[in-house]
Amino acid sequence: MKMIKHTVKSALKASANFSPEFCARAHYYIKFKRKLNLTNPSNFNEKIQWLKFNELNSDIYTVCADKVKVREYVAAKGCGDILNELYGVYDTPQAIDYDALPEKFALKCNHGAGYNIICSDKSQLDIDKTNRQLNKWLKEDFSTLFIEPQYKKIARKILCEKYIENERGGFPDDYKFYCFNGKPYAVMVCIGREKGTPKFYYFDMNWQPLPFEDTLELIGGNQTPPMPDGFEKMKACAMKLATDFKFVRADFYLLNGRVIFGELTFTPSAGLDVTLQEADAILGRQLQL
């Protein structure tokens, strides 16, 4: 079975350049066991697939999906104060001066998702292994994995940012604002990631829980987090950053009340999120194509 899955995955990746729509339809069917409707999409995942073929090839999406260039966009929208500290941008791993970096830092490739190396102790970092991994990522065309064209034309680079951690030495809570036609509608809150048992909540812009199964279950268990300091600022920044798009998810970290920009996401889970359930329908109604 593993071999069959690997063969299917390899075949889809190989065909992505000459038949991206076929690949998108195949991925969708494999994930949901139903056909993708691009003519009249109704739910959120389907509409994300529609955007792939009708919106995401524009230059503005290339800029904003690029983890280096998006910083200019964020600053131009009046949110430069929430950018994380940048230590350097490099064309190759060999250009990184590890001696000049602090003891903790984060290395990322700018042209996709999941290309992250989080270093919490430089003395324990295997630099050769790190460079090999970065080189491997730089050679990958992330846009072909699940047909996400916003990554296709990005000039591939490595960036190094400040390591962010809360007062307990763990990851800060993160907040992902789902914005439709220039306005934030919902925020997904991830709390407790550092403990290995994160909890996910969906709230509206008045911090009222949305009727999604996981959220209602947590609320019913009296596990409702209070509205945090910094929420209003995150909401205001999300509004500014969303003005140019039918849909964007604006991601932030919150560290002791300080807002830190994460990224702009145009295709959450590549439009293949099976965990959305009720959210798939409710968020789909918000996205007007």
The 8-class DSSP code of residue 209 comes to B
pTM: 0.92
- pLDDT tens across the length of the chain (289 residues): 454 455 556 666 666 777 899 999 999 999 999 999 999 999 999 999 999 999 999 999 999 999 999 999 999 999 999 999 999 999 999 999 999 999 999 999 999 999 999 999 999 999 999 999 999 999 999 999 999 999 999 999 999 999 998 777 678 889 999 999 999 999 999 877 766 677 888 999 999 988 886 666 666 666 678 899 999 999 999 999 999 999 999 999 999 889 999 999 999 999 999 877 788 999 999 999 9
Q: What is the chain's length?
A: 289
End-to-end CA distance of the chain, in Å? 39
Report the side by side order of strands in the sheet with 247-255. Answer: 199-203, 183-191, 173-180, 247-255, 258-265
Residue matched to tokens 């920009």: 261
Please report the pLDDT score of residue 13 as a whole number. Answer: 67
Give the residue from 245, 125, 115 showing the smallest Cα distance to 178: 245
Please report the pLDDT score of residue 278 as a whole number. Answer: 82
Q: For residue 135, give the amino acid letter.
A: N
Report the side by side order of strands in the sheet with 158-162. Answer: 86-90, 158-162, 105-109, 116-119
Please report the pLDDT score of residue 62 as a whole number. Answer: 98
Q: For residue 229, give the amino acid letter.
A: D
